[in-house]
A = this chain, B = another copy of it.
Amino acid sequence: MARRPGGARSKRRMQGLSAPQGGTVSPFIREIPTYDMVGENRLDAIHDASMRIVEDVGIEFRDKIALASWRDVGADVTDTRVRIPRDLLMEKVALAPSSYRHCGRNPDRSVEIGGRSMGFAPVYGSPYVRTLDGERRYATLADFEDFVKLAYLSPALNLSGGTLCEPVDLPVAHRHLDMLYAHMRYSDKPFMGGVTSPERAQDCLEMCRILFGSDFLEHNTVMTSLVNCNSPLVWDETMLSVVRVYAAANQACIISPFIMQGANTPITTAGAYAQLNAEALAGIAYAQVVRPGAPVVHGATLSTVSMKTGAPMYGTSETQQLMFLTGQMARRYGLPMRTGGMRNGSKATDALAAYESLQTMLPAILAGGNYFLHSAGWIESGLSACFAKFLLDADQLTVLQRLAAGMTFDDDAFAFDAIAEIGPGGHFLGCDHTLQHYATAFFVPETSEQVTYEQWSEEGSHDALSRASALAAKKLREYVPPPLDPSTDEELHAFIAKRKEVLPDTLS
């Protein structure tokens, strides 16, 4: 028997597996097939159901500029109701690219969004955080920066995200500047832009001009921003004007119906999908009216509403079915797909939080998702962003990313010689074949432990939440920011200062 794993050399090799600062630069490519839940004839019926909604019921565009544009291109516009013939709609949708490069300021960290390529962004939009001590309190900019740092350090997150939490200690009108700066300064992964007003979206574009250079921005997509539809069937002025700012500048938008099945959609899943698809396609088509070829992402924010209490529920069978349908339809339309998220309604970072999260995220991977929002840190129906859960989620993302990476089937992988060498009743721990592979063979989640029960008890019976909190504290202590050119940094500061002079500084 040859060497066993565990010596000094092997220890170094194992450490090579752990995250370098800034995380992985390897792209996440889905090498396994998508899961196609329904057959082609069903997809025809689904498409037709969505087309009937867009043609006969129509979509409300509560925005004068958008209404004028729809009239110009030949849609039937009555007041704010736009009925779009299916040929016109699909002609516009067909202009959208099936994939686009979402650039990071570190070009090694740019992420392709579309096809078999996957981008994972953290939690988005929580007003509260769960601190490392388990306290629940309003989020601050310091929390926001800490989430940027954790995402930067995590090999499982290849996107820095957007509103990781809502920094309520800052004036509402200033927040987008400080949030975007945090992404730019404390990470070098691709990020999202502000969407709360067209002016703020414009500010984000300006800051990107400073960071990337005007020339680069002209020809590249450096932001992917989240634009929600007010379901059922309403696109409002804020969202549409933000789409205009970003699409005109060739920046990407996730055109995302906000689904609470049973409340703002039909209670039946087929109906809920037909509606969300109609809403998303109408939004996508509008982005193409603004600028043909503007990058967009099809998908939705999904929850199911409890008919007992009216509360949103996550990780339900219905959201799983909606994700599988979204994947199949997005591929049919040749569009990148937004889906997934470690979403749950639990008040605590407990077993239920984990179950609901994975009931969402695992199907999302098999559904063929391209842009995954809320991939780490989400609890409590999105009201809180939890630092410990961020790391727990990131570990489970790695499991899914490795599943998606597929497996090898060559002679070496079939290992006939090793099986013949070891034979019945032996073990493989020290054989040559094992030694050749063990350094990269398995992933051991850093939030897990592999001690005996007795040792675990003696060491304080720390559960996953407790271990992950300690690990997050350690990571934040050891964090080192990626380099940023001092003159760029200065220019960003100057722009932000200038904007803050003219923007109101009220806290609500």
Contacts and interface: CB of A to CB of B under 8 A. Distances in A.
Interface in A37-96: 37-38, 42, 45-46, 49, 52-53, 56-60, 81
Of A53, A232, A352, A429, the most chain B CB neighbours within 10 A belong to A352
A32 B60 CA distance: 35
Interface stretch (A116-124, A141-149, A430-438, A477-485): A430-438
Each complex incorporates copies of this chain amounting to 2
A30 to B, nearest CB: 12
A349 B345 CA distance: 18
A355 interface: yes
A167 to B, nearest CB: 20
A185 to B, nearest CB: 31
Interface string A386-423: 00010010011001101101111110111110111011
Interface in A318-347: 318, 320-321, 345-347
B366 A414 contact: no
A434 B271 contact: no
A362 interface: yes
B316 A57 contact: no
A179 interface: no
Contacts of A310: 429, 450
- Interface on chain A toward B: helix, strand, loop, or mixed SS? mixed
A503 interface: no
A32 B366 CA distance: 14
Given A351-B349, A425-B60, A443-B316, A413 B232 contact: no
B14 A275 contact: no
A354 interface: yes
A357 B357 CA distance: 12
A266 B358 contact: no
Contacts of A230: 425
A396 B355 contact: yes
A383 B453 contact: yes
Interface in A346-373: 346-355, 357-359, 362-363, 366
A253 interface: no
Contact of A262 (B45, B52, B434): B434
Contact of A268 (B42, B349, B437, B463): B437
A414 to B, nearest CB: 5
A88 to B, nearest CB: 19
What 3 pairs across the A-B complex have the smallest Cβ distances? A271-B415, A311-B450, A266-B415
Interface of A: 5-6, 14, 32-33, 35-38, 42, 45-46, 49, 52-53, 56-60, 81, 136, 230, 232-234, 261-271, 274-275, 304-311, 313, 315-318, 320-321, 345-355, 357-359, 362-363, 366, 380, 383, 389, 392, 395-396, 399-400, 402-403, 405-410, 412-416, 418-420, 422-429, 433-434, 437-439, 441-445, 447-451, 453, 456-457, 461, 463-465
